[in-house]
Amino acid sequence: MHADRDEQLTGGPGERLSLGFLPTPVQALPRFSRLFSGPEILVKRDDLTGLAFGGNKTRKLEYLVQDALRSGCDVLVTAGAAQSNHCRQTAAAAAACGLACHLALGGGEPEERNGNLLISTLCGAEVHWCGDDRKGEGAGRVMETLQAAGHRPYFIPYGGSNAIGALGFVAAAHELHAQLREADEHCTHIVIASSSGGTHAGLLVGMRELGAPMQIVGIGIDKDNTVSSGFPGRIAALACETSAQRGAEITFSVDEVLMDDRFLGQGYGIMGEPERKAIRTLAETEGILLDPVYTARAMAGLVAMLEEGVFSAEDRILFWHTGGTPALFPYAGDLLH
Ligand SMILES: *Cc1c(COP(=O)(O)O)cnc(C)c1O
């Protein structure tokens, strides 16, 4: 049964392009784990997918860009914050595939292009500044303008989180499962930064396909996407759609989506003391860099849970490093104060 699904993965409508260096490594964090005298902590290094500094969006783009090419499109259009990792990886994917790229970004033209924005620019992306709209509200106008000029634009939603993009994390679940089996390793929980939901949804689908008992714990990043605003329900719905995209009909209920949104601080993209501390602690103990917006918040959440004694010493926690490190540079001032 699983072999059939894997065939679909490589041969059917969910065909994937190779954009990243996969599988990404899994490594232990012995010095970091020892700080908490609790469970062993492992890390999955999707910060090393390799596409213009890497990150989790590379996996989604392998399916989305394949779909764009199959549809005969010539421009990728997507949206995000000024320091969007998703937009940076989309710009790089477009360059790698000979496509143009237009980005609808929140905010206005900054004095200096740094971090992700610098890289998107270097990869040739055209930026449209959209003020308060950082989630694609301004992308419709960009699409219309491109169509009127005779282009065939392909729209990728905020974070690449639709049922096609999430296929990348179904495949990632299979990848991790095979790696752990090969290394005679296991883990009981996967902790991820969850923001537009595609990573979380894809992992849920993949782990269910595998019958793997790992619990997937999403740490909320964005005040727009909280438990009380119905984010877990949207993730469950996306997981159902993603499973249908795989030609299966696995259903997911909201109760299966584990989400902790206590660590939102001052909101999306605003780094506080917990994030700063997480970045410095992991860098000082393991030489591994987190990013200020997503993975530092998720790691701060994991640290809080470790200190609360949520996990037992027999648990094995895999922290999924989803990337984002180019944003360290525009946040340098906040990091060092
Ligand atoms: C986009 C992103 C996430 C969140 O993934 P979603 O699929 O949008 O929930 C986490 N970490 C980093 C670094 C990201 O860029």
Task: Quick: pLDDT tens for 243-252.
Answer: 999 999 899 9
pLDDT at position 14, please?
Answer: 64
Tell me how far apart the alpha carbons of residues 176 and 153 are, in angstroms, rounded to a whole number. Answer: 34
Nearest Cα residue to atom 15 of ligand 1: 85
Query: 15 falls in which pLDDT band (50, 70, 90)?
Result: confident
Q: Which residues, at least 6 apart from 319, have a Cβ–Cβ distance to it below 8 Å? A: 29, 41, 42, 43, 44, 191, 298, 299, 302
C-alpha distance from residue 43 to each of 33, 48, 156, 294, 297 (Å): 11, 12, 28, 15, 15
Mean pLDDT, rounded, for 127-153: 92
CB count within 10 Å of CB 330 equals: 19
Residue 5: pLDDT band with limits 50, 70, 90: very low
Mutate to test the pocket of ligand 1, among 49, 167, 294 (most ligand atoms within 8 A of CB): 294
Element of type H or E holding 317? strand 316-321
Cα(256) to ligand 1 centroid in Å equals: 20
Cβ-contact 84, 53 below 8 angstroms = no
Active-site residue flag, 312: no
Please report the pLDDT score of residue 9 as a whole number: 37
Q: Which of 18, 33, 71, 84 is catalytic?
A: 84
Choose the most confident range, by mean pLDDT, from 11-15, 35-39, 197-201. 197-201
Q: Which atom of ligand 1 is nearest to the CA of 169?
A: 7
Is the pTM for the entire model greater than 0.85? yes
pLDDT digits (tens, 9 = 90+) for 306-325: 999 999 999 999 999 999 99
Question: Which atom, in ligand 1's list, is nearest to the CA of 202?
Answer: 7
Q: Which residues does 131 contact at the CB level (< 8 Å), separation at least 6?
A: 106, 107, 108, 138
Q: How many residues does the chain have?
A: 337
Nearest atom (ligand 1) to Cα of 291: 13
Show Cβ contacts of residue 113 under 8 Å, excluding neighbours closer than 6 positions.
121
What whole-number percentage of the chain has pLDDT above 70?
A: 96
Measure 244 CA to ligand 1 centroid, in angstroms. 23
How many angstroms does the Cα of residue 150 sit away from the middle of ligand 1? 33
Where residue 132 falls among pLDDT bands split at 50, 70, 90?
confident
C-alpha 84 – ligand 1 centre gap (Å):
9
Range list of H helices, 109-253 = 115-122, 139-148, 167-182, 198-210, 231-245
- Expressed in angstroms and rounded, the spacing between residue 261 Cα and the centre of ligand 1 is 15
Strands 258-260 and 316-321, by their bridges, are unpaired
Q: How far apart are CA 271 and CA 283, in angstroms?
A: 17
Q: Kindly state the percentage of the chain with pLDDT values over 90.
A: 90
Choice from 47, 57, 238, 320 to test ligand 1 binding pocket (greatest atom count within 8 A of CB) = 57
